[in-house]
Amino acid sequence: MDIQTKYYLKILHEGSSYSLQPFPESGTLLQVHEDINAKRFNNGRKFFRDNLSMNVLGLSCTLVIGFSIPNLLEPLMFTKRSNSPEAILQRYLTTIRHVTLWHYDVWDPNSAARKSIKMVYNRHLNVRNQMKEHNEDTQCFTQYDMSLVQHAFIHYAILLSDKLGLECTKTDLDDYVYFWRWMGYFLGIRDENNICINGLENARAICKELAEAVVYPALSATSENSENMAQTFADGLTLLTFIPIQSAKSLMAFYLDIDDEPRDFKLTILDKCRVLFLRSVVLVFKHSALFRFVANRVTERIISVSWFRSQVLNS
């Protein structure tokens, strides 16, 4: 770890003492919108939509691994909206739908994208307030926590794009980081805790060190609660496919393997087959434009983006 990266990680951790920034006012957003690089922002969001199915796979893996981080697990446990396969599937689909919507016109104050990101911001505030009412010493949705959340959204894309079969150039990834620089702004992340504020290479260095210093050590020291949550999530995915295509361990193993990280758990023969299945899907996605097109359209149907957009606008 170089001196600069150590400095950034220290600053990120200092964010544990700071709450979310206020959601930006409309007047401020109008000024910001005039100043952003629209070409880069639009190309960043296009990258996500062009690789929708593999982006959803990457997010699924980072979510399962993220259950091992106490800062991220505790709010999920507290709300009790993820304590059954049915509940966690609904929560997961809602999260993916929100995130997908943000890749549309979030700068339009009347759009579903803007309404969606404000809904998520307010939900974070409400959960934080409820947890503090329950225990005034509780710290959640701090700036540091949001850095970890942002890390989960970009780590797989900017460090593992080739191994996930994502069709992109370095410019696309740089623009995706630029896109998430502004999503972080909407979500209340201050500049000091915004991983994406200084471009692709800086974001890569920070994401790599966060994974090695925080995320993967937490996975090695996983708790019973985190293991149960991860398996409940995998059981929820089975409700979509009707057969247990994936397990918590196979998703973790697949992700650790492509990130060249050692595993401290063993896989059953069935889980080894599941990992091979994921590798095969990635390989075909990477080399077949037709498969990529079909996979993206099927993913769109599963997460029902158009239906969800209307639900958000009418809520």
Cβ count near 243 (within 10 Å): 5
Which residues have a Cβ under 8 Å from the Cβ of 283 and sit 6 or more positions away? 165
Which residues have a Cβ under 8 Å from the Cβ of 291 and sit 6 or more positions away? 284, 285
pLDDT at site 197 = 94
pLDDT at site 198 = 93
pLDDT in tens, 33-76: 778 999 999 999 999 999 999 999 999 999 999 999 988 888 88
- pLDDT band at residue 82 under the 50/70/90 scheme: confident
Task: For the chain, give every domain's residue range.
Answer: 3-314
Distance CA 115, CA 121 (A): 10
pLDDT at 136 over 80: no
pLDDT at 311 over 70: yes
CB 163 within 8 A of CB 61: no
pLDDT at 296 over 70: yes
pLDDT at site 26 = 75
Q: What is the pTM of this model?
A: 0.92
Instruction: Give the number of residues written for the chain.
Output: 315
pLDDT in tens, 220-241: 887 888 998 999 999 998 888 8
Q: CA-based Rg of the chain, rounded to a whole angstrom?
A: 19
- Residue-by-residue DSSP string for 183-223: HHHHTT--GGG-TTTT-HHHHHHHHHHHIIIIIHHHHHT--
Averaged pLDDT score across all residues of the chain: 91
Which residues have a Cβ under 8 Å from the Cβ of 143 and sit 6 or more positions away? 12, 15, 16, 18, 19, 20, 189, 190, 192, 193
Cβ count near 261 (within 10 Å): 16
Backbone angles phi and psi of 261, in degrees to 5: -105, 140
pLDDT at site 144 = 95
CB 199 within 8 A of CB 177: yes
